[in-house]
Structure 1
Amino acid sequence: MNSYLARQPVLNRDKDTIGYELLFRDGPNNSFPDVDEEHATHRLLTDNFLSSGNSDAASGKKAFINFPYGSLINRIPLLFPKRSFIIEILETCQPDDDLLEVVQELYQAGYTLALDDFTPSPEWNRFIPFVHIIKFDLRVTPLPKAGFFIRRLKEKGSQITFLAEKVETYEEFIAAHEAGFDLFQGYFFSRPEIVRKKTLKPSALTTLRLYQEISRSEVNFAQIEKIIATDVTLSYKLLRHVNNMTYTRAKPISSFKQALVYLGEEKLRRFVTFVATSHAIEDKPESLYFLSLQRARFCEQLSQQLHSKLDCNQAFLTGLFSLLDSILDQPIEALIDQLPLDKPVQHALINRQGYLGGILRLAIAHDQADWHTIKRLCQALNVKESVVAQTHMDSIKWATVFEQTLPSKS
């Protein structure tokens, strides 16, 4: 599945690109589609920021994102890290008390705010102390009027940055420069260019976000509950599964919070891992899901036998995530980059290096019945082949039993 967006560079006075305005597109045609503004913003955020909080589309520079009234009132920007993007408050927003309350909240939380296509008016005056950038559309606001407004604010000591939009000629750039604008955007520099990328389907996005949380040294229960609640299918499966585990209770568990408290951190980490993995590969062979569980258990158990100081949770994640590229249809390097994994796990998954990398290679060799490699790796890891064979068999039995306890994929 592909996602599309257009981006137009934002330049400074030296014509250096400092960021990009990102614009939603629903196909390769470089024009705004016939969709609602709220829908466009939601899709743009989901396709480009949801999994990691950052967007490759901005090439590591600042991203400018349009936010209509509804998205602001519903505090959508607060779902993302404050450094993810610059919030452009669309000119179609009503400058009412509710909007002012949101703007003040975002400002105090450290987000960068811009007034898009700004037209000076008394209704917007009370918003100015809480914004960092004001954008003037030179096709709507004449340059002399914009220049007067800029000089007046700067004379009052304002630190606001002013951006000129629709700069279409060299002469307009020079005039805007002299009028006091700090940033520039328009056809004189570049027309919006289309960017196409592979995007994760919703179930895979949810899974990746859950993987991010369980990969942290301390599990954030509230964040996991919040993620689960966004996916109806996953919510159903999780509650159904935890009630299967607690069928002896007099009263069924009916909320995520109850389920999380009951499980505790370690069981929650595993519980989310299993069900989320199953959820992500509903349209893939069951063997892929089974193998990811079996490898995870193998790596965990063998790590405990080989070295008492090895973190068995790291070994478990190494085995589980060894098939992440196949599960989520993305390059392993790109996925690992979005997960807060320790360096030994990253090296094992990407380069098959380190102690964990050796254990993972041993698991893969057993899956492939590569006896020559198994013998060589056993010698390198100083472990008996009989121990590895028994661990492999135990991991298959364990994965089989656990798979039977999970809710079906239907």
Structure 2
Amino acid sequence: MKIFLARQAIYNKNTKIVAYEILYRNSLKNTFDKNQKQEEATYKVMQNISSFGLNILTKNKLAFINFPEEVINSNMATLLPPDKVIIEVLETVEPTKEIIANLKFLRHKGYTIALDDISTYKQVEGFLGVIDIVKIDYKLSNKAERINIIKKLKNKNIKMLAEKIETENEMIEAKILGFDYFQGYYFSKPTVMESEDIAAKNRTIFYVIIELMKEDYDINRMENLIKSDIGLTYKFIKFINSAYFSFIQEVSSIKNAVMLIGANELRKWLCIISISEMNSNIGEEHANNIIIRARMCELISENKGYNDKDLAFMVGLFSDIHMLMDKSLIDVVEELPIGKEGKAALLGEDNIYSDILNLVIAYENMDEEKIQIISSKTKVNIDKLGEIYLASIEWGSKLLNINR
């Protein structure tokens, strides 16, 4: 499944890039789809940021992201890192009590708040005290109003950004008026970026959300539900290891990840996924077989008493992920937060996890010669493989039946 985003650079007075505005796109066509609801566009931007990687998108600079009223009031912004993201309040948002309270909450959490597409001072008044940046639209405003806004905000510790700058004269004027930041076609147009992603099953997401709504939700059931969906597992592991959390060590266990993120943040993330997902292009039979493969890797690892059965599961689950994403194996594996041993196994390097994976694949294909060689090397009892395989099928069937 192809995903798209666009970014447009934001410059300082020295014409150095200090941030990027991240924009919704649904194709390589560099325009916003007017039929797309603003809140859905923001959810898709948030989801696609996780898939692209925020630091890759922004080259480790700040990201301005548009937030309509519904998304601000949902507090979904807390899924993004406050030191890397600017909450850009759309011009359609009114300064209601609920909006102001939620913007205060976000500022308390460390987020910077910007007002978008401003043309008159009246649009700013209701937001005073909760905003840090005002973006003045050079297409919608006139010079007199721009001067008026800057004059009235001069001593309020608010930065000014001149947007939609298209000519040299506009750029010169904006610098003379004292703007801090600049954005527009004069400097650079938005650049569309394309990547591949895997869709998650909406039914799986639904059942995880239902489980999360219980006060005493079952962590084991949660783990099993997520494990039953390759796309959801991939997205979740990438999300938990994203820049927002900054864990010292990579997290590759679903159960640990669920415990670390907590029910509220997980519920928010799943809601975004469910809103933004398209139908999966992955063949159902293929996906089911991979889940069985992953479980078999896990059970073999557990049977032999190896340290990390969770990693064995991930190696099995992601063993064909490059085919599902139509990208090279090296590129996909590089993005996976599964540690050096897991990556090495997926790239075919010789270690215990690649041995387990190769043994399982050999068993799938009933390649008796390979089964004999690898079993001898790993000291896995061949007589146990049939039992493990049947147990894996049964486990997979139970999980997958949850979603039917």
Could you tell me the TM-score, scaled by structure 2's length? 0.72
In structure 2, the gaps of 5 or more residues are 234-278
Alignment of 1:214-233 (within 5 A): 231=202, 233=203
Closer/same/farther in 2, CA of residues 189 and 359 from structure 1, 3 Å limit: same
Partner SS state of residue 124, structure 1: helix
- Partner Cα distance (2:168, 2:105) in 1: 39
Inter-partner Cα distance in structure 1 for 2:143 and 2:191: 27
Shift of 1:167: 1.7
User: C-alpha separation between the residues in 1 aligned to 2:194 and 2:183?
Assistant: 22
Give how far 1:89 is off.
0.9
How far residue 114 of structure 1 moved from its aligned partner, in angstroms, is 0.7
Aligned to 2:102: 102
- 8 Å contact kept, 2:197–2:325: no
What's the CA shift for 1:256?
1.9
> How far apart are 1:350 and its partner, in Å?
4.0
The residue number in structure 2 matching 1:292 is 291
The CA distance in 1 between the partners of 2:27 and 2:283, in whole Å, is 27
Q: Match of 1:127, as an amino acid?
A: F
What is the aligned counterpart of 1:175 among 173, 180, 183?
173
Which residue number in structure 1 is paired with residue 356 of structure 2? 359
How big is the alpha-carbon RMSD for the aligned residues of Structure 1 and Structure 2?
A: 3.9
Checking the alignment, whether the CA contact within 8 Å between 2:5 and 2:192 is kept in structure 1 is yes
2 CA distance for matches of 1:22 and 1:65? 6
1:301 and 1:186 mapped to 2: Cα distance?
Answer: 56
Counterpart in 1 of 2:255?
Answer: none
One-letter code of the match for 1:21?
A: E
CA contact (8 A) 2:39 2:68 kept: no
Counterpart amino acid of 1:286?
E
Decide which of 211, 218, 231 is 1:256's aligned counterpart.
211
**1:117 to partner: Cα distance:** 1.9
Moved more, 13-22 or 280-289: 280-289
> Which residue of 384, 401, 404 maps to 2:394?
401
The whole-number CA distance in structure 1 between the counterparts of 2:384 and 2:198 is: 34
Normalising to structure 1: TM-score of the pair? 0.71
Cross-structure match for 1:190: 188
Distance in 2, matches of 1:144 and 1:258, equals 53
Instruction: Measure the CA separation in 2 of the matches of 1:88 and 1:262.
Output: 35
Matched, 1:162 2:160: yes
Residue 204 of structure 2 is aligned to residue 234 of structure 1: yes
Given that residues 301 and 309 in structure 2 are in contact (C-alpha distance below 8 angstroms), is that contact kept between their aligned partners in structure 1? yes
> Could you tell which deviates more after superposition, 95-104 or 193-202?
193-202
* Structure 1 residues 84 and 202: CA distance shift in structure 2, 3 A: farther
Deviation at 1:103, TM superposition (A): 1.3
Contact between 2:66 and 2:90, CA under 8 Å: does it hold in 1?
yes
**Structure 1 letter corresponding to 2:61:** K
Q: Which amino acid aligns with 2:226?
A: V
Secondary structure of 1:117's counterpart equals: strand
C-alpha distance 305-90 of structure 1, shift in aligned 2 (>3 A): closer
| Maintained 8 Å contact 2:5/2:45 | no
Partner of 2:301: 303
Gaps of 5+ in 1: 204-230, 240-254
Q: Which amino acid aligns with 2:20?
A: Y
- Relative to structure 1, the CA distance from residue 286 to residue 259 in structure 2 (aligned partners, 3 Å threshold; closer, same or farther) is farther
Separation in 2, partners of 1:314, 1:124: 52
Cα contact 2:91–2:115 (8 A) shared by 1: yes
Question: Displacement of 1:90 after TM fit?
Answer: 1.5
Helix, strand or coil at the partner of 1:392: helix
Tell me the residue number matched to 1:218.
Answer: none
Matched residue SS, 2:125: helix
Deviations 1:86-142 (A, max 9, x none): 221112221232221121111112222111122453563352332222111123334
Any conservation in 1 of the 2:230–2:287 contact (CA below 8 Å)? no
Paired residues, number? 358
- Alpha-carbon offset, residue 272 of structure 1: 3.4
Call closer, same or farther: CA 1:196–1:302 in 2, change over 3 Å.
closer
Q: Which residue identity is paired with 2:391?
A: W
2:217 and 2:199 map into 1 onto residues whose CA distance is: 30
Quick check: 338-347 or 101-110, which moved more?
A: 338-347
Distance 1:11 1:147 in 2: 20
Deviation at residue 375 of structure 1 after TM alignment: 5.8
Larger RCO, structure (CA 8 Å, separation 6 or more): 2
Contact 2:118 2:124 (C-alpha < 8 Å) held by counterparts = no
8 Å Cα contact 1:299/1:359 also seen in 2? yes
